[in-house]
Structure 1
Amino acid sequence: MRLLLTSGGVTNPSIRTALVEMLGKPIEDSTALFIPTAQYGHPSCTPEVTLRSASSDWSMTALGWKSAGLLELTALPSMEGERWVPWVEQADALLVDGGDATYLAHWIRRSGLLKLFPRLERTVWVGVSAGSMVMTPRIGAEFERWTSPEPGEGTLGIVDFSLFPHLDYPDFPENTLAHAERWAEHIDGPAYAIDDQTAIRVVGDDVDVISEGHWKRLE
């Protein structure tokens, strides 16, 4: 799977260009599934927020896709795989919204989606905030709001670095670089602090930063 790990989504032309390059074709010729599941694990996410995230003009579903649908991971265990697995396999992109990363990781596992990852070599995972953090090995206590019923269950560890999103976001006064640096002191391994104009692209072993804003690699 190809990863476009963002803080705020496809927020500028540089990130959009990177997405098109990863898709290998125009967005207008590509299909996507929007995954809002992480929102249900975060206390700040309301039904109204979830609806706006899926349908507003600034939503990732409004980028001009050939088609875009919704994939709710909490529903998948009650469905036959022969019904929903083709939806995932046929999508060019999975648009994974923010919320709580641990909650999202739990449902990626429980739904069976994680088992499909090895088959999704050309699929682009576009993460927003927790939708990006879920791919990291750890998120730190500052971002742990939901406790999994499975002991020791954490994020997925698909990449080997951690993420501190929404750097210097006006509505999150605690998300300063100084706070990110303190957070990184307790993270075992490399990390990036990124603002909402920044994305990290991962294709195979290649990792690069796409930004029209500011970011910092933290060791």
Structure 2
Amino acid sequence: RTTERSRIFSYGKIVILIGILLSVFQQFVGINVALYYAPRIFESMGAAKDASMLQTIIMGFVNVVFTVVAILTVDKWGRKPLLITGSIGMAIGMFAISWLSYNEIIGISTLVFIIIYTASFMMSWGPICWVLISEIFPNKIRGQAVAVAVGAQWAANYLISSTYPAMMEYSGALTYGFYGLMAVLSALFVWKMVPETKGKSLEEMESLWKK
């Protein structure tokens, strides 16, 4: 019994760490900054107040459409391919916005790349992070592990959202570049460390972690 407990504790630490990192990356790519501060982002890039609100509504529409895309494809393509694809799309969107901000280029291109970024998140990390958190943890530590992962997610959300205004005061280009870098790191993290859970039962996942 002691040996079994130590084995559970050993692989449990690894699984919980992966769950925490999934949660942290979901927030560190900057999605809630884009959602919380959308009107301010558009206004800071030269859009009139009414136009910025319209662009925020467009983003909301994109959110709904690409969340449906995730629902329709997650069991066909698998969790990892969608997450990696979404990370790449987010990186492209954020690095482009960073470049536009650095060169003070204002126009429809800004909206286009924010839509690319938001759509990439909503078809991947938005819903699928929650799917993985519900699937990767072994039954014996499931309740505690999910609680830790969700707690980490809210802490990361607070950190990223609260630091955005100060980061923007320093440099918009570096701020958006940081979110793009996080998107790249999230893709590498999923590729190297996150197992595919498509078609696997909780018992099969537990056997996988034991190995």
TM bracket, shorter-chain basis: under 0.3
When the two structures are superposed, what TM-score results if normalisation uses the length of structure 2?
0.24
- Larger-gyration structure (1/2): 2
Q: Name the one with the larger strand percent.
A: 1
Higher relative contact order, chain-length normalized (CA < 8 Å, sep 6+): 2
When the two structures are superposed, what TM-score results if normalisation uses the length of structure 1?
0.24
Q: Name the one with the larger helix percent.
A: 2
